């Protein structure tokens, strides 16, 4: 999850080659193509400018769509030494600890000795989705979702058991919220089941709304910009289908499934995470967890504001 690749500009000579390259990347795949070096897009356009006006137009359209859909992301902090070849620069980033690239697509012949993360375009056969089993720690939750956290102004956290009064949940939320709020995020909406947090008959824990509000406020970081955080506590018991069951991080560009939601687990325990791979499924989930379209009845709403 959240793997970052780079591709030599020459790999994208011709719009069909560029289209083939881009199909492996984006939020629906769980991996991203890094614009490396920082003028990568301009280099791709220049290379295709000699192949004809129609090809160039198609290339520009693909690049713009890839930018808007987060298939291509910027990484201006990655170093690039002009005295080295593109591949030498990229392999140096692959070999760093921790490495700053997870894979490289090159137009050159494979490096010697062969590097397991260096590919030519014709041999690039990545899995459709970059699913992963991670240690259930706050740091790992941030790592696999960082690109969405950094790039998205509106985020939605869905987990029937999302209870900020529980330390193992609040620790995860605090780190994810901080990354998002320090970047572009201006709105965070969380969804949980009221019966889990509030109901004295069925809930594992009994909390008052004021307790939950104080706990949520404690995990929202300070910021000078305008920020709205909402926790919707819902009832899905009145014949509503589907029931609230899945655990997701949702945004317009993409979403991530979390097997056990947003909770840290004892040392050594792992959970499965993976991208939502179909646009139609993502759109359905976005509607399901939108106050205007959701079939769930909101029993209690907690609001936190900053800025």
- Res. 201: pLDDT tops 60: no
- Res. 168: pLDDT tops 90: yes
Q: What is the pLDDT of residue 277?
A: 94
- Res. 204: pLDDT tops 60: no
Alpha helix positions (H), the chain: 15-22, 40-49, 53-68, 86-95, 138-151, 167-181, 194-197, 209-219, 279-288
Rounded to an integer, the average pLDDT of 12-36 is 95
pLDDT in tens, 254-297: 999 999 999 999 988 999 999 999 999 999 999 999 999 999 99
Q: What is the pLDDT of residue 71?
A: 97
CA neighbor of 8 nearest in space, from 129, 90, 124 = 90
Q: How high is the mean pLDDT of the chain?
A: 92
DSSP H or E segment with residue 252:
none
In CATH terms, the fold of domain 132-306 is Endonuclease; Chain A (3.30.870)
The arrangement of secondary structure in 3-123, i.e. its CATH architecture, is 3-Layer(aba) Sandwich (3.40)
Rounded to an integer, the average pLDDT of 228-254 is 90
- Measured CA to CA, the distance from residue 124 to residue 45 in angstroms comes to 22
Q: What residues does each domain of the chain span?
A: 3-123, 132-306
CA neighbor of 205 nearest in space, from 235, 266, 163, 262 = 163
Q: What is the pLDDT of residue 113?
A: 59
pLDDT in tens, 33-78: 999 999 999 999 999 988 888 989 999 999 999 999 999 999 889 9
Q: Residue 113: is the preceding peptide bond cis (ω within 30°)? A: yes
- Res. 103: pLDDT tops 60: yes
Q: Residue 98: is the preceding peptide bond cis (ω within 30°)? A: yes
Q: What is the pLDDT of residue 243?
A: 83
Report the predicted TM-score, pTM, of the whole model to 2 decimal places. 0.91
């Amino acid at each position: 999850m959240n793997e970052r690749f780079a591709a030599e500009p020459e790999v994208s000579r011709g719009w069909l080659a560029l289209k083939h390259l881009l199909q492996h990347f984006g939020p629906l795949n769980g991996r991203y193509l890094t614009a490396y070096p920082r003028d990568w897009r301009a280099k791709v356009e220049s290379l295709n400018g000699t192949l004809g006006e129609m090809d160039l137009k198609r290339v520009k359209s693909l690049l713009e769509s890839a930018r808007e859909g987060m298939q291509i992301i910027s990484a201006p902090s990655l170093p690039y030494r002009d005295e080295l070849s593109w591949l030498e620069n990229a392999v140096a980033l692959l070999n760093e600890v921790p490495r700053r690239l997870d894979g490289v697509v090159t137009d050159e012949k494979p490096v010697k000795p062969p590097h397991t993360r260096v590919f030519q375009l014709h041999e690039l056969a990545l899995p459709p989705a970059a699913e992963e089993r991670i240690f259930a720690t706050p740091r790992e939750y941030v790592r696999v979702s960082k690109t969405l956290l950094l790039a998205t102004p509106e985020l939605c956290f869905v987990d029937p058991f999302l209870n900020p009064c529980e330390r193992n949940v609040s620790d995860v939320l605090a780190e994810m919220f901080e990354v998002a709020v320090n970047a572009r995020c201006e709105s965070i909406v969380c969804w949980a089941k009221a019966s889990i947090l509030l109901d004295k008959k069925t809930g594992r824990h009994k909390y008052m709304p004021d307790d939950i509000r104080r706990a949520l406020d404690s995990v929202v970081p300070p910021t000078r910009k305008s920020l709205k955080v909402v926790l919707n506590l819902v009832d899905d018991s009145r014949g509503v289908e589907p029931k609230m069951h899945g655990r997701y991080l949702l945004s317009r560009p993409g979403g991530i499934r979390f097997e056990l939601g947003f909770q840290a687990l004892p040392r050594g325990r792992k959970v499965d995470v993976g991208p939502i791979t179909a646009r139609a499924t993502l759109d359905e989930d976005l509607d399901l967890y939108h106050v205007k379209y959701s079939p769930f009845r909101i029993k209690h709403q907690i609001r936190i504001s900053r800025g």
